[in-house]
């Protein structure tokens, strides 16, 4: 891979040092150094220094300047460019006492190293072409992964699963661009020209591929971040009771006075391997009571952001205008109609819109627990059809990456529509150059320092 252009984000060319293992007491700790000065710097400290036998572990003493032996260390030395960062790298494993680690790092600094910034090792790896930006992001995802699924996804991304697919897409766009540019250049000559139709077919393929990346990112998002499920319905239909039932605990306060849940409560639960964030909203109804109105606004916002809304009706009472208002708010969103309190029997005097919903509603009783398991199954099935194992590993794994792909997709689409509509070749070529630049940004070739800072500053120190 090509090394990236020089960045002014962090100073390069000096030698950095940091503890790579977690801080605190442990059996061992590892201190990592990277930069052109590593060999010279450690020659006097690590005794014996065996820098010539690269990639081999050796046992040595670490001798601090003016202090004598600090600790026994296991050292390993990687010579540039065959190291994590692409520079000379040493890793010293010492006993895991914070005092020793602190002294050892201070001594490295006294000998000319600088304390590394968060993510600076990975940043250097990226600068030196050891990995692209997507892989650098995968390193962080892997370190931070909390579920096995997240770890697997990050490992795939780290192995560079995007690279090949990206190159194929770029090639197609470049081919079209080359054709357009030669038409522009040789406009007056009689060269065989590839039909506009053929070019737009190639762009259509690119659109399909990029569209697929965005779609798979969206699907995987539900696994990665969990599914937001909002319980909505007028006060007293039993939202809080249902919330507790679904959580198997008494989390929300349940009373028979309408409007007691004035804020939104949220809890994470596991429905069949899917992480679900359950959100209990304040009743959706118009009210002039200030505190409650705030709660209602919040509820409406939650509903707008939800992946799925459980719209709850009371089986034992005829639905009123508040229920209907709530229904109109959510009917066009992904939802499940839940009829609660079936232990109290079905009220026959329901308005027609409720009668229409009755057949497809899930009937439950928060009081007795009837229908609750079925409701859980329906929620997880709707959120992630087929369960977590069915979700293919996405090509792009972060919002940043997905936004770059969206920009590229927009540009390619604009280009194709332009070609079909007969707009000037110069214009289409310009638009397609924009698509290539968005794809370059995706892997970090043309990414601004500001964005890079945003990415690398989220790393832990020592990575």
Q: Do residues 35 and 128 make contact, with C-beta atoms less than 8 angstroms apart?
A: no
Nearest distance from residue 351's CB to ligand GDP, in Å?
19
Strand partners, 69: 63
Beta strands per DSSP E along 194-283:
227-232, 265-271, 274-280
Nearest distance from residue 322's CB to ligand GDP, in Å?
11
Q: What separation in angstroms does the CA of 443 have from each of 84, 411, 436?
A: 18, 17, 11
Nearest distance from residue 256's CB to ligand GDP, in Å?
4
Of 177 and 296, nearer to ligand GDP (C-beta) is 296
DSSP 8-state secondary structure symbol assigned to residue 343: G
Nearest to 429 by CA among 446, 415, 443: 415
CB atoms < 10 A from the CB of 356, how many? Answer: 11
Residue with smallest beta-carbon separation from ligand GDP: 238
Of 263 and 392, nearer to ligand GDP (C-beta) is 263
Of 177 and 364, nearer to ligand GDP (C-beta) is 364
Of 245 and 400, nearer to ligand GDP (C-beta) is 245
Nearest distance from residue 309's CB to ligand GDP, in Å?
14
Q: What separation in angstroms does the CA of 410 have from each of 299, 389, 406, 430, 435?
A: 33, 31, 6, 13, 8
Nearest distance from residue 335's CB to ligand GDP, in Å?
16
Q: What separation in angstroms does the CA of 5 have from each of 9, 68, 86, 444?
A: 12, 42, 15, 10
Of 174 and 253, nearer to ligand GDP (C-beta) is 253
Of 109 and 253, nearer to ligand GDP (C-beta) is 253
Nearest distance from residue 290's CB to ligand GDP, in Å?
19
Nearest to 50 by CA among 30, 19, 85, 78: 78
Nearest distance from residue 375's CB to ligand GDP, in Å?
12
Nearest distance from residue 232's CB to ligand GDP, in Å?
9
Of 207 and 314, nearer to ligand GDP (C-beta) is 314
Phi-psi domain of 248 (left: phi exceeds 0; alpha: psi -120 through 50; beta: other): left
DSSP 8-state secondary structure symbol assigned to residue 370: T
Of 180 and 231, nearer to ligand GDP (C-beta) is 231
CA distance 353 to 324: 8
Residue 73 host element (H or E):
strand 68-78
Q: Which residues bind ligand GDP (CB under 6 A)?
A: 233, 235-241, 254-256, 261, 283, 340-341, 343-344, 365-367
Nearest to 279 by CA among 258, 300, 255: 300
């Amino acid at each position: 891979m090509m090394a990236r252009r020089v960045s002014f984000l962090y100073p390069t060319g000096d030698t950095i040092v940091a503890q790579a293992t977690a801080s605190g007491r442990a059996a061992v700790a590892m201190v990592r150094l990277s930069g052109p000065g590593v060999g010279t710097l450690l020659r006097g400290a690590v005794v014996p220094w065996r820098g010539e036998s690269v990639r081999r572990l050796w046992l040595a003493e670490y001798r601090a300047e003016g202090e004598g032996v600090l600790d026994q260390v296991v050292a390993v030395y990687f010579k540039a460019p065959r190291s994590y960062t692409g520079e000379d790298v040493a890793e010293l494993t010492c006993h895991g006492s914070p005092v020793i680690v602190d002294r050892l790092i201070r001594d490295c600094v006294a000998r000319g190293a600088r304390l590394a910034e968060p993510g600076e090792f990975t940043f250097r790896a990226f600068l030196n072409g050891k990995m692209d930006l997507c892989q650098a992001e995968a390193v962080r995802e892997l370190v931070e992964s909390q579920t096995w699924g997240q770890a697997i996804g990050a490992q795939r991304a780290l192995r560079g699963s995007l690279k090949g697919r990206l190159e194929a897409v770029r090639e197609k766009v470049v081919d079209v661009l080359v054709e357009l540019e030669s038409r522009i250049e040789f406009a007056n000559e009689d060269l065989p020209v590839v039909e506009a139709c053929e070019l737009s077919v190639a762009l259509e393929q690119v659109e399909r591929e990029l569209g697929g990346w965005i779609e798979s990112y969206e699907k995987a998002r539900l696994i990665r971040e969990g599914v937001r499920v909002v319980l909505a319905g007028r006060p007293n239909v039993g939202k809080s009771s249902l919330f507790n039932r679904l959580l198997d605990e008494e989390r929300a306060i349940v009373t028979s006075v309408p409007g007691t849940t004035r804020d939104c409560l949220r809890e994470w639960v596991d429905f069949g391997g899917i992480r679900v964030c359950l959100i209990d909203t304040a009743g959706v109804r118009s009210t002039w009571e200030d505190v409650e109105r705030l709660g209602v606004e919040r509820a409406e916002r939650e509903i707008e952001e939800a992946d799925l809304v459980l719209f709850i009706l009371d089986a034992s009472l005829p639905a009123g205008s508040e229920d209907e208002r709530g229904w109109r708010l959510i009917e066009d969103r992904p939802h499940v109609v839940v009829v609660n309190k079936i232990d109290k029997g079905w009220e026959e005097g329901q308005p027609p819109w409720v009668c229409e919903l009755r057949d497809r509603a899930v009937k439950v009783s928060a009081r007795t627990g009837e229908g609750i398991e079925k409701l859980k199954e329906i929620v997880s099935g709707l959120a992630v059809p087929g369960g977590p194992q069915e979700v293919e590993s996405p090509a792009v794994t972060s919002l940043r990456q997905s936004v770059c792909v969206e920009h590229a997709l927009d540009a390619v689409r604009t280009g194709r529509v332009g070609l079909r509509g007969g707009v000037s070749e110069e214009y289409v070529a310009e638009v397609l150059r924009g698509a290539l630049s968005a794809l370059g940004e995706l892997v970090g070739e043309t990414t601004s320092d500001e964005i890079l800072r945003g990415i690398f500053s989220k790393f832990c120190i020592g990575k």
